Amino acid sequence: MELKKLDEGLFWPDYKNSIVNFSNSILELFDEKPLHRPFRFPKRVLENVRKVIVMVIDGLSFEIFSDTIHDDDVQVFPCSAVFPTTTAAALPSLYSALTPLEHGFLGYILYLREVGSLVNMIEMSPPGLPRDSVLRFHDFKFTTIFQRLQSKVKSFFLIPRYLLGTGFSRIMSRGSEQIGFSSFGDMIEKTLEILENPDRTLVFIYWPTLDSIAHKNGVGREYIRELRWIYRILKFELLRRLKQDTLFFLVSDHGQISTPQDNEIWWDFSSEVMRFLDRPPTGEQRMMFLYTKKREL
């Protein structure tokens, strides 16, 4: 995969080899009509598969994984994120097999006309209000791959226990059984228990810690040490216990890079640019939507 360059350090997403295409390959594998072109895995990878595990590691960089994990048992496929390359837009793409423009989760903070307010799309609430408060009067029209596969497979959605039952996780897991885990070991044991059932099965697992480390300390030694630990435990405690009819994918919603503070620009309500805006900026710190007072601009 070769990404088309937009500017120095900026690339267009590749919607022929992206996480959107990956999720469409899951639909096709389970005999459901894909919504976009499926990711082109080698045919042998998908043969005789009845059960699929997809572990989503938030913030896992393809380049760092390739440079850090050297194992002949692993097949690595380069895969583009979506735009914007952030959790609030990318996770919905993984769970729906749609692009951000199609599913509507375009950033961390959005102005929703139906709500009449800025809304934190992860917390599901206007800034400063209780979590999930917007769901009391607004329903997000969001169809997951689990709903599309409901008549064909049993789907399970595993997340850390502190996220269990939150509005965002409820929307993303529609059509699946949502299960919380308390630790990495607990996650592995719950996954193995699920796989004991004889039905065709799809398991999605979400692990957020690597992304949290990168946001706090960058993609340095702590990040790499955590990645090596994750891979080592997965290989010896989970992958070696899987049966031949089970396929395991390790994917990410987006990568991570370290950026120097000299490249940061900070705005507050005293900044000159705010005089030209009709409401506060939304979107992401890395990709903002600006609402100007002069609409014709």
Classify each residue of 142-180 as buried b or exposed e, where b means 16 or more C-beta atoms within 10 Å of its C-beta: bebbbbbbeeebbbbbbbbeeebebbbbbbbbbbbebbb
Helix axes 87-96, 19-29, angle to 10 degrees: 20
How far, in Å, CA of 59 to CA of 172, rounded?
A: 18
Which has more confidence, 54 or 78? 54
Percent of the chain clearing pLDDT 70 (strictly above): 99
Name the DSSP letter for residue 125.
Answer: B
How far, in Å, CA of 156 to CA of 175, rounded?
A: 9
Contact at 8 Å (CB) between 122 and 138? Answer: no
pLDDT at 132: 95
The pLDDT tens digits for 130-182 are 999 999 989 999 999 999 999 999 999 999 999 999 999 999 999 999 999 99
**Cα dihedral 143, 146, 150, 155 in deg (nearest 10):** -160
Name the DSSP letter for residue 234.
Answer: I
The pLDDT tens digits for 85-111 are 999 999 999 999 999 999 999 999 999
Measured over the CA atoms of residue 226, residue 228, residue 229 and residue 235, the dihedral's sign is positive
The pLDDT tens digits for 57-66 are 999 999 899 9
pLDDT at 263: 77
pLDDT at 154: 98
Residues 6+ apart with CB under 8 A from 122: 87, 88, 108, 168
Contact at 8 Å (CB) between 92 and 259? Answer: no
N-terminal to C-terminal alpha carbon distance within the chain? 36
* Residue 17 pLDDT level (bands cut at 50, 70, 90): very high
How far, in Å, CA of 145 to CA of 172, rounded?
A: 9
Contact at 8 Å (CB) between 105 and 88? Answer: yes
In the predicted structure, residue 297 carries a pLDDT above the cut 60 = no
> In the predicted model, what is the mean pLDDT of residues 116-131?
92
